[in-house]
Amino acid sequence: MTLVLTYADISGLSLADANLWRTLSFFATDFEVGQYLSVSALIAFLVASGTAIMRSTAGAGVLAVLGLAGLWPIALNGHAGGSLNHDIAVNSQAIHLFGISVWVGGLVVLVASSRVLQDDLSAVVRRYSNIALWCFVAVALSGLVGSWLRLGSWSSLASGYGAILAAKILALVLLGGAGVLHRRRYIAQLQQDRDGAFGRLAAGEIIVMAVAMGLGVALGRIAPPLAAPEGELTVSESLLHFALPGPLDWPGWITAWRVDTLWAPIAVVAVGWYIAAAVKLRRRGDSWSLGRTTAWVFGWLLFTWATSGAPGVYGKALFSMHMVQHMTIATAVPTFLVLGAPVTLLLRSTPARKDGSYGPREWTLRVIHSPYVAIVGYPIVAAGMFIVSLAAFYYGGMFEWSMRSHTAHQLMVAHFLIAGYLFASSVVGVDPGQFRPPYPMRMVLIMVVFAYHAFFSVSLMASTTILAGTWFGLVNPPWAASLADDQYLGASMGWALGDYPLGIMAGALIWQWVRADHAEQRRFDRKAARDGDAELADYNAYLRSIAEHRSRERGPDSATSTPGYGAPSRRL
């Protein structure tokens, strides 16, 4: 329906006009706006069809993720798709839509099913309240970023756009106040809520949400005060959607920052959750390794630097910086994240639910023990996926696509982060779920990936073909080296930056190997102390029986002439 109404609005044709329906397919396939709306409509159709036939909890989870993915094409439209700061605006808009959809949709379903839930309503509302709080924070922060990109200054609040925005902010404040009232008063007394006060307040929230969403639609149809930048954009600025800060010097490796509004919040939440979970364990008297906490935090700091620091700023203009970003995300970051053992921490810090419902612990166990994870996480498959995807990405035409498309770039980041994590987890991970071969085989896998990565880097250094040459020819800054020299530098840096994490991985594997051997030896020693070294006594008795048997076969004097069989032996 959104696709049809949008086309009717753009074309000026009424719904009763036959030309509208004849040309709708042309709009849906040949115009960027139509393509985005078509993809979103297709995903919505799949989700709606799936909910009609799906009966499993796991299937419902898959449909929920698919439904959120259908919001991404919508985020690419509207004012978020402008020229400057396109990526920041799209990321913020996507988070905004994710938060609103879960928040509003969850409340509508909660009110509609309140009579069906009956005795379970209190527990469901309490869990929804926690989710709604996270959604409120996500909507507020993403809305703040998006609003500032469109306003540009405080004086713009006096415009018509600013007035509607102020009304939307007021609606958000009212919703936040209603949420506080829910948490402090009604949730605890839900079982005794005979007069339906909770339902009335929730219905009022839905009305305010509808008003806020209507204001959001109005904002999408009004040109913001910062609709057009001052002056003409250069070719580089129109393609990159921002202006490069200048030549990259050594201080710039630390000082050059442009926040990725999709991945930076994820990193903050991941670090915050991990520290809170570790503190929770310590407060109840359990221990958690400081080294694992350090590895997890450092891994996300590296990831944030790769996506928002110098590699993120210069990665689309310089091939060399792209390789720094890629190898950091694909090899270094996963190594440290795996050493943090996040799944083990989650399982230890999160209580299991007793009512048969799915919480964070149950969903995690369902995912790590799923057949899909068992296949892609199998060591040989994980290593093969890491190797094949590296060659396919650079030599299969996807590299330039990731430079030109914001969506493809984010998919690239997600894919190589996950592929690297699966491989690292299959080699040095301690979390449950994945099959891990004996230590010698794991070392062989590291050596194979190490050798392939060196071969890939050398082949790239020796190549005379410029990867994504058309793209870099347009965005390459005047102060940069030639495309061939920059590609050679990038291949060299990629070789180094890809191999040192593999070295760390090999060192961690050797350390685990040694510790496992020591633990096994201590286990044998404890067993010997418990049973009086019965295993050694049985072994020596076995040797004596062999010696006596051979003595009887060779004669009465053979025992003294056969070394090694006459006396008890002790294993080292």
pLDDT band at 525 (very low <50, low <70, confident <90, very high): low
Last residue in a domain, options 231, 246, 261: 231
Q: Does the pLDDT of residue 279 top 50, yes or no? A: yes
pLDDT at 367: 92
> Is there a domain that residue 303 lies in?
yes
User: Does 363 share its domain with 410?
Assistant: yes
Single out the residue in 70, 98, 126 at which a domain terminates.
70
Query: Between 296 and 504, where is the model more confident?
Result: 296
Q: Which domain holds residue 187?
A: 85-231
Residue 562 tokens read as: 């056969």
**Distance of alpha carbon 67 from alpha carbon 317, whole angstroms:** 34
More confident residue, 265 or 205: 265
Q: What pLDDT shows up at residue 214?
A: 82
| 249 within domain boundaries | no
If asked whether residues 155 and 215 sit together in one domain, one would say yes
Could you count the other beta carbons within 10 Å of the beta carbon of residue 465? 9
The per-residue pLDDT for range 34-73, each reduced to its tens digit, is 888 899 989 999 999 998 888 888 888 899 999 999 999 9
Tell the residue number behind the tokens 């790590």, with chain if given.
368
Q: Does one domain contain both 382 and 435?
A: yes
Which of 35-39, 125-129, 379-383 is predicted with the least confidence, judged by mean pLDDT?
A: 125-129
SS3 label, residue 308: helix
Q: Which of the residue ranges 304-308, 399-403, 529-533, 544-548 would you say has the lowest mean pLDDT?
A: 529-533
Both 320 and 441 in one domain: the answer is yes
**Are residues 292 and 371 located together in one domain of the fold?**
yes
Identify whether residues 280 and 316 lie together within a single domain: yes
Tell me if 250 is assigned to some domain.
Answer: no
Q: For residue 263, tell me if it sits in a domain.
A: no
Q: Which of 396, 428, 438, 568 has its CA nearest to residue 502?
A: 428
Report yes or no: 164 and 219 within 8 Å, Cβ to Cβ: yes
The position carrying tokens 């204001």 is 215
| Segment 471-522, tens digit of pLDDT | 999 998 989 999 999 999 999 999 988 888 888 888 989 998 888 777 777 7
Maximal CA-CA distance, the chain = 115
Is 238 inside any structural domain? no
Predicted local distance difference test score (pLDDT) of residue 269: 96
Q: Are residues 41 and 105 in the same domain?
A: no
* pLDDT for res 251: 92
CA distances (Å), 120 to each of 113, 133, 162, in order? 11, 20, 43
Q: How much is the pLDDT for 218? A: 76
Query: 552 CB contacts (<8 Å, ≥6 apart)?
Result: none
| Domain tally, the chain | 4
**Residue 277 and residue 302 share a domain:** yes
Same domain, 543 and 514: no
**Window from 2-6, 178-182, 226-230, 304-308 with minimum mean pLDDT:** 226-230
243 in a structural domain: no
Verify that 63 and 104 share a domain, yes or no.
no
Let me know whether 428 and 465 are in one domain. yes
Residue 75 lies in a domain: no
Domain endpoint, select from 70, 98, 122:
70
Residue 77 belongs to a domain? no
- Is 544 in the same domain as 522? no
Task: Please state, in angstroms and rounded to a whole number, the distance separating the CA atoms of residues 485 and 320.
Answer: 9
Question: In which band, very low, low, confident or very high, does the pLDDT at 572 lie, cut at 50, 70 and 90?
Answer: very low
